[in-house]
Structure formats: structure tokens, C-alpha cells
Structure 1
Amino acid sequence: MIDGHTKLFGLLAHPAAHSLSPLIHNTSFQVTGINGIYLAFDVTSAGLADSLAAMRAMHIGGFNLSMPLKTDVLPLLDEITPRAERLSAVNTVINRDGRLIGDSTDGQGWVDALKQDDITIDEKVVTVLGAGGAGRAIISAAVDAGAKQVYVFKRTNDLFDARKEQLEGWSDVVTVLPYEDEGLIAEAFDESQIIANATNVGMAGDQSLPVSQSVMNHLTPRHIVSDAIYFPLETPFIHAAKQRGSRTYNGIGMLVNQAAGSFLEWTGQRMPIIPVIEAVHQAVLQRSKN
């Protein structure tokens, strides 16, 4: 029940109305009994400074942010965590008595989603397709989780050399390779235990695969295959990996577990993951019917 003690949290994004974050956090507040509410606010880069000022003035507990606000917010914060500094991106802001602290829970969400099924990254070889925001978060978290080797495949464009230098500078275990070299991708699949698609290929009606079927044929039942995409629930990539017998995970686990990281920092309590995942699953199913 909303009363004078209810703590406000929210999402800053543009657009914001489509987000599943209110469902995730409000379900969590309901299940845990925490007196909080989470709302979505449509905020552009131009309105971000005012939004942060309001957060301080109104003692709002915390916010999540989407791109491009994840990077725009950096100079407006009092402090950022080491992992947010590494990524130069913040998806979570915590208000500690008017001091705004930025963190990135995206990559840890991917690690924690696998950990739910007793899958650890430690000493594993990981292949990541894509080096955008989601890809970099996964790469960073894989390094922190003790991966033996992380192969990253990125398109060879004007950003390739700079991104390669950045990511390989994080750790000796990271190797950035050209996405166009399918032979190298196939070799990486053969060597890897865990493969993550962090591209947007296969999202919302796109029937493409992020790699060719000949590369997909290198997948086996020993592989763990994840996709950062959660709409649709089963992307062509996940479907094809299932056909090869691989153990597969869509993006809902990562989505909910990154939110769980924010929830823990804001409230000091763990998110009730299972009922939240069930609620999100039902919501995505409903959207797919519309």
C-alpha cells in the first residue's frame, strides 16, 4: 500500500513506456513486502541533469538508465564503481544521502543467470558475439568471474582497432577477432564451453542467425548457449542451438538478474528471482500475441 513512507525508484529512458523494469521491481516489492514503488520516466539526454537534481532534492532511492543515458550520466554523478568505470557506462544509480553513485549490473546479471543453474564461468572458455553495450558488459563480467579465455567477435569497422585495444586492455584472457572470419568463429566455438550472442540479430521478428548455419553446426550438447535477447523468447539462434542439443538460455535471466543487482543495492534485500522471472515470461508471451 502506498503511503507517506513509500520509497520511489524508477527508470530514466527514451522511450520508457515499453520497459519491463516496472513489472520486475514492483513484483519484487510486492513479494518481499518492501514499501517501494518503481515508475518509468520518459527522459532524454537534455533532461537528465534536471532529473538527477530532482533525485537528490526529493530523496528518490535510485534509478536505472538506458542508452544513451548510461553514458550521458557519467559526469553528473558523485562516484562510479570500478566496473562502471571500466565500461564507461552506468545502468544503476543509488542515492546515498544525496550522494549519487553509479554502477553497472548488466554483465553480472548474465553471470548470475547462469549461476542459477549451477553454471560457473571460472576456468571456462567463452565466446561473445558482438562488442556493443551488452557485449562489453558480458565480457567484463566474464573476466571478473575468472574465465580462462574470452573470444570476442566484432565487426571490422572504424571502431574495430580502438575497441580491440580497449577490451584486450582489460585482461590478457580477452582476444578480439573480426566477425567476418567464420573460420575463426568455428574454431572458437570448438574451444568454448559457453557462447553468448550479444548482437541484436534475431530480435523481434528478425529470422536471421548471428552466424551461418555451417558455424552453428559446430555446436554440440556440451555447449551452453545464451542470447541477450528476450523478445522473442526463442530467437533463431537459440532455436538452432537447441537443434544441436546445446543447453540454451534466452535473455530473461540476464534481464531479471541485472535488475536484481540494482534491487540489492537500493534495498539491501535479494530479489525474489523465480516469481519475477515467471511474471516477465508471461508478459513477453502476452506481447508476442499482440
Structure 2
Amino acid sequence: MTNKKLYLIGDPVDHSLSPLLHGAMIAQTGVHYTYEVRRVQPRDLADFVAEAKAGGCAGFNVTMPHKEAILPLLDELSPAAAACGAVNTVCIKNGRAIGYNTDGPGFVDSLRARGLEPEGKTVLLLGTGGAGDAICDALVGAGVKKIFVTNRSVYPAQDLAARYPDKAQFIYFGIFPVRHAMAESDLFINATSLGMAGMKEFSDLGFLRDAPAGVTVYDLVYNPRQTMLLREAEKRGLPTVSGIDLLLYQAARAFKMFTGKDVDMPALFSALEGKLD
């Protein structure tokens, strides 16, 4: 039986964990697929999409810098991808390229797997852009009560909050507005690069002092796995979630779109234990 081809495209792509994740899911489910990394420069993006549609490719994942640039090259967008304006998964069906974004649904999956139901909750979201926007969209769809949206750049946060005037509220990225919002929240999400390896750290984590007992601190950063934000939250006795959870759950969503197969998530976590640090 000929293996169907899956790809990850981006520039650069050498750092990505996607081949490791999808390789583990292929091994677990026994499907006849291969997963390869392709460095695709911006000038070659349209040619790659045409090549993928021509045959032999079941789909591909999309990483930077193509998540937005690929939109006009696709034949169809899922509602989630259209809403957030970014694509991380493309399925090829009958010669048509259909774009999806699995960040939002994968994030909600990761919460529910930990017994955290978003419905009725108040959320403080730090960071906009592809992942932040997708997560905000998914949380509104999951029935959150309220989302405070903040970002270092004001206008993107205002635009995101304006999508959901009945649910979302923009706040300035300052210690006092963030502290006040934190005091009302059930869940704090860092969807920025703060704390990522090689990037800037939080200059002040004092807002954690105002976190209610039991508020969950979710850092989308997965390198390092234990960020300064998560360490400080744990010191205060707050439950934490690392970006590894989103990484695996959004990948599992994409894998099911590609193959039709569900992934045994506890088994996947076990198989990858120690390989993602």
C-alpha cells in the first residue's frame, strides 16, 4: 500500500516538534502515512500549494511565516480559520485545499481533558495574533462568561475585543488593569512570546498576587516547558498548564482531519515523555 504524504511547511522549520508528534501518532494508529518537513520560502508558497493539490499529498501543517499568507491560495476556509485570519492545517480533498485552524479547538480540548470546562468562566487573555485570536474565538464558542483581552500593542487587542462586545473587554497592558482583571478571573492565558527561550521575560509578575485561589495559569510557551510564569504561579499554589498540552491537542486535531483517526492522548503523552524538553 502506498503511503499518503503529509508535510510541515514553513521557513525555518528545523526547530519544529511536529515531525516528532505526528510520527508518534502515525505509529500509535498504524495508518499508512508519512510526515515530512519542507522548507518553503514565501516566494515558493503558491507553487507548493499547487504541487500538493496535484496529487499524492493528503494535507500539510503550516507554520511561520505562511499562516496568513496562505489564505488567498486556498479553495476554502473553515469558519474558525476565517474568523482568526490564520491557518495551521490544510487538508487536500478532491484536488481542493481546505484551510483550518486547530489552535482554538485544541486549546478547549486541552482544558476539558483536565476537567476545566470553559462555560461560565471569566478569562484573562494576554496576547493577540494567530493563537490568541483563535483561542478567544474558541472560548467564546465554548460559552465563557467574559474575556479580558490585553496586549502590548493596543490596536490588535481592541480589534479582537470588538468582535465580541457582549463577552470581551479590552484592558490596557499595565500592572494595575491586569491585576484588577486577574482578581476576577478563573483562567489566565499567556499567548505571547514572553518567557520563550531567547525572548524577553515578564518584567513584573506581581499580578499573580491578585489571582483568586484556584485560578488556572496556562502558558502557551512550551520551550522551556517550565517558564518563569509557571514557576511563580506554582509557588503561589495555583494550578498550571504548560504549552505542551496545546501543542499535543492541536496536533491531534490536525491528525484526525488528515487521517480520520482519533488519538489516545494519555498514550501519546506517555510516548513523548522526556522527548519534548
Provide TM-score, normalisation by structure 1.
0.91
Q: Does the alignment pair 1:35 with 2:29? A: no
User: Which amino acid is the alignment partner of residue 111 of structure 1?
Assistant: V
Please name the residue that 1:45 is paired with. 42
- Deviation, 1:163, is 4.4
Q: Does the alignment pair 1:84 with 2:81? A: yes
For structure 2, the 5+ residue unaligned runs are: none
The partner residue of 1:131 within 128, 132, 140 is 128
Distance in 2, Cα, partners of 1:166 & 1:228: 18
Distance in 2, Cα, partners of 1:49 & 1:207: 34
Q: Does the alignment pair 1:183 with 2:183? A: no
Distance in 2, Cα, partners of 1:172 & 1:220: 24
Is the contact between residue 85 and residue 130 of structure 2 (CA under 8 Å) also seen in structure 1?
Answer: no
Distance in 2, Cα, partners of 1:22 & 1:263: 12
- Deviates further, 132-141 or 255-264: 132-141
Is the contact between residue 127 and residue 157 of structure 2 (CA under 8 Å) also seen in structure 1?
Answer: no
SS at 2:188 equivalent? strand
Distance in 2, Cα, partners of 1:167 & 1:220: 23
- Deviation, 1:220, is 4.3
Provide TM-score, normalisation by structure 2.
0.95
Please name the residue that 1:147 is paired with. 144
Please name the residue that 1:250 is paired with. 242
Please name the residue that 1:200 is paired with. 193
For structure 1, the 5+ residue unaligned runs are: 286-290
Please name the residue that 1:161 is paired with. 155
Sort the Cα spacing of 1:192 and 1:260 in 2 relative to 1 into closer, same or farther, 3 A.
Answer: same
Sort the Cα spacing of 1:281 and 1:203 in 2 relative to 1 into closer, same or farther, 3 A.
Answer: farther
Distance in 2, Cα, partners of 1:77 & 1:167: 27
Q: Which runs of structure 1 show a deviation greater than 4 angstroms over 4 or more consecutive aligned residues? A: none
Please name the residue that 1:288 is paired with. none
SS at 1:68 equivalent? coil
| CA displacement 1:180-238 (0-9 Å, x = unmatched) | x21111111110101111111111155733x6232121234411110001111100000
Is the contact between residue 91 and residue 105 of structure 1 (CA under 8 Å) also seen in structure 2?
Answer: yes
| CA displacement 1:141-200 (0-9 Å, x = unmatched) | 111111100001112x4xx33541343224520112111x21111111110101111111
Distance in 1, Cα, partners of 2:165 & 2:34: 39
Distance in 2, Cα, partners of 1:141 & 1:240: 27
Sort the Cα spacing of 1:164 and 1:105 in 2 relative to 1 into closer, same or farther, 3 A.
Answer: same
Please name the residue that 1:54 is paired with. 51
Residue-pair matches, total: 277
Distance in 2, Cα, partners of 1:57 & 1:269: 24
TM-align CA RMSD: 1.6
Is the contact between residue 106 and residue 246 of structure 2 (CA under 8 Å) also seen in structure 1?
Answer: yes
Please name the residue that 1:241 is paired with. 233
Distance in 2, Cα, partners of 1:207 & 1:70: 23
Give the fraction of aligned pairs with identical amino acids, expressed as a percent.
Answer: 35
Is the contact between residue 220 and residue 244 of structure 1 (CA under 8 Å) also seen in structure 2?
Answer: no
SS at 2:275 equivalent? helix
Distance in 1, Cα, partners of 2:130 & 2:43: 21
